[in-house]
Structure 1
């Protein structure tokens, strides 16, 4: 079995790109987010619904698979140390340097939306902002509660990866035998049915009760769904029959994903805004949503395995390194650029295109600077230069051996 899956590398790259574009879209839709366009509407919400149900599940699945390849090369102690060393510094950098501008502009936009006479009472809301943010003494409160700072915002994904990695260490002996159990669960139609039933039950029961908070202390739905996806990815990373079955089912899965997406669009059109369907329909809609999620993942894995499993080269190698730093910085760029672009009142299509381009350029500059300055590499999730050279030499030797 190969020590690297190029198809999973490409899926990881595509999943993060999809997430970055999704967050650009969040600036323009009616759904709640940190800052909003003054011209937000439901125009692109159907397109957002296409990826909303499965983008995060896919990310955790791919992260679990990547973790498997890393864990198999090291002792438990080395693996734990290496993983924590790659995740903790970027999380701390985000909480105290990258995320604060998001909170700043969130407060600014809330104050700007108030009537002039009321807004005047909050003229000093962001005075001495960073100190108040870092010490949790901002007292930024509104009808929906108070902002808790310091916080991790979009970096909740990394915080959860840290928790799941630590839990994984305890489960490693069991999980290395997991493909036998996975083989039985996903045999034949079970590839579609078993994961879908799990996702459906989790969404219908836990999400209904607890919602999804991204607060690691109180997020039972997310922990159940995403930790399961993480473990599943770890279990199937080197289990070739899973990829063969996704390859076989890729077209039916793609058709099912498109059909279920159209059903969700139709339901949303029938119950717009705050309107909600009857309880019985609500349960069915959640089943449809999770069917979209899982069939989209099967189709993605299947088509990637068909066309990208041998697709190596400088682009993959660069993007594999770059995509995590992109993720680290992207949301702050979107928030800041979106706030100022909105004031220019450009045509909405031009503004949206500029927001995407500014975000892409900012992500690249952040990555390029970070990789060139040795002291910054660890803070953006990159290995030291010496470790990178050593890893490349190992890859070259492995390539020559095959």
Structure 2
């Protein structure tokens, strides 16, 4: 059963999507230890066959998280004036980012350098890490520290939030006629605004921007990622309360799934032909780039549609717990994967056993980290959790322009 427009403040489907996307992210990063692509540390036993499996989620995994983050931003901005909202978001997200860069990420870089042959005592490494005095290189390129590594997502969400809050603040001061300037877009036929335009846009980004601006996650100059991620963030923001859009995605879910499977079959098939030398590499790359946007759209829309159809009212005790735990898990998961992978390497276990142990150690470490973080007041702040109720400051003032709907039950920093 889908949610009605009256129930659009309680988006359990988006909570489940966020939970599922993080689970996929953890599995994906475990896979990065074994797939023959560049990553922080690698197993000496690489698996070529893993590449088509990994590209199943490559195009859309983080797109989902940006859409959910945009929707959450819409619910919060509807309840608050732009300036107090932005202040609250900065207070909520900046400490975890700094904590991650200064405490959680450095062990990744230390082990990464050791894996590449630059072994240092941790205290010497950390002093150089903090002061950017390491003069380190990674695959021939400078390795700049401090670094945010996998926390680039938090940086981008912060930047997009600031841009959006500023735009909303300006928009609320415009005359009513100007504030309604975007209404014709909402009246576009759904097949055009919800299917064709997104596919053409994402395909254009991959064909035009990606060859010139490869992904860097360095914020500046990362135009391909911004074109995709900011669009996803704005899509989530703009459609969060549109029952019409979500009903359509749910109604079209089976056709969207067929589209997604079709796109993935072409993408993965081209990759396999390239890997096996059956097809010309340039031709295979061209086909993969051409179908990437279709693949990205197809799976994203499919998951949104199925989630809204079946999970919009799927309340479960695990949802409340995992929704709170997601951000602390995200902060620490990659460091745990890298530490476990390096620690287990010496035993030369069967790959399936080794990977299972890495996954178990990572999930177990995430659980322990969250359980500690939620019990310690100052650590709650550093991991993006809300302060305990007794320590919570007065609520953010409501905006006279926004909705007075109840607060969305999610407590995640995203």
Q: What's the TM-score once normalised by structure 2's chain length?
A: 0.87
Separation in 1, partners of 2:165, 2:406: 30
Give the match's secondary structure for 1:346.
coil
Q: Kindly indicate whether residue 114 of structure 2 is the aligned counterpart of residue 108 of structure 1.
A: yes
Deviation digits for residues 7-38 of structure 1, max 9, x if unmatched? 11111111111111111111110011000111
- Cα contact 1:18–1:55 (8 A) shared by 2: yes
Separation in 1, partners of 2:345, 2:139: 25
Q: Kindly indicate whether residue 288 of structure 2 is the aligned counterpart of residue 288 of structure 1.
A: no
Q: Kindly indicate whether residue 380 of structure 2 is the aligned counterpart of residue 377 of structure 1.
A: yes
Q: Kindly indicate whether residue 158 of structure 2 is the aligned counterpart of residue 152 of structure 1.
A: no
Select the structure that is richer in helix: 1
- Structure 1 residues without counterparts, runs of 5 or longer: 112-121
Which residue number corresponds to residue 309 of structure 1?
A: 312
- Structure 2 residues without counterparts, runs of 5 or longer: 1-5, 173-178, 396-403, 410-414
Equivalence map 1:40-189=2 (5 Å)? 40-111=46-117, 124=120, 128-141=124-137, 144-172=140-168, 174=171, 180-185=183-188, 187-189=190-192
Aligned pairs, number = 387
Question: 1:313 Cα shift?
Answer: 3.2
CA, structure 1 residues 127+380, in 2 after alignment: closer, same or farther (shift >3 Å)? closer
Which residue number corresponds to residue 12 of structure 1?
A: 18
Deviation digits for residues 361-393 of structure 1, max 9, x if unmatched? 1111111100001111011000101179999xx
Separation in 1, partners of 2:299, 2:22: 16
- Cα contact 1:182–1:235 (8 A) shared by 2: no
Q: Kindly indicate whether residue 339 of structure 2 is the aligned counterpart of residue 343 of structure 1.
A: no
Which residue number corresponds to residue 398 of structure 2?
A: none
CA, structure 1 residues 278+30, in 2 after alignment: closer, same or farther (shift >3 Å)? closer
- Cα contact 1:60–1:229 (8 A) shared by 2: yes
- Root-mean-square deviation (Å): 2.6
Which residue number corresponds to residue 227 of structure 1?
A: 230
Question: 1:140 Cα shift?
Answer: 1.2
Which residue number corresponds to residue 389 of structure 2?
A: 386
Separation in 1, partners of 2:323, 2:207: 35
Separation in 1, partners of 2:199, 2:35: 28
CA, structure 1 residues 179+296, in 2 after alignment: closer, same or farther (shift >3 Å)? farther
- Cα contact 1:326–1:367 (8 A) shared by 2: yes
- Cα contact 1:6–1:311 (8 A) shared by 2: yes
- Cα contact 1:192–1:295 (8 A) shared by 2: no
Question: 1:304 Cα shift?
Answer: 0.6
Question: 1:123 Cα shift?
Answer: 5.6
Higher relative contact order (CA 8 A, sep 6+): 2
Deviation digits for residues 117-171 of structure 1, max 9, x if unmatched? xxxxx56586611111011001112551221000000000000111100100122
CA, structure 1 residues 202+174, in 2 after alignment: closer, same or farther (shift >3 Å)? farther
Match 2:329 to one of 326, 329, 333: 326
Separation in 1, partners of 2:74, 2:120: 50
Which residue number corresponds to residue 214 of structure 1?
A: 217
CA, structure 1 residues 123+385, in 2 after alignment: closer, same or farther (shift >3 Å)? closer
- Cα contact 2:10–2:408 (8 A) shared by 1: no
Match 2:45 to one of 32, 36, 39: 39
Q: Kindly indicate whether residue 233 of structure 2 is the aligned counterpart of residue 237 of structure 1.
A: no
Which residue number corresponds to residue 118 of structure 1?
A: none
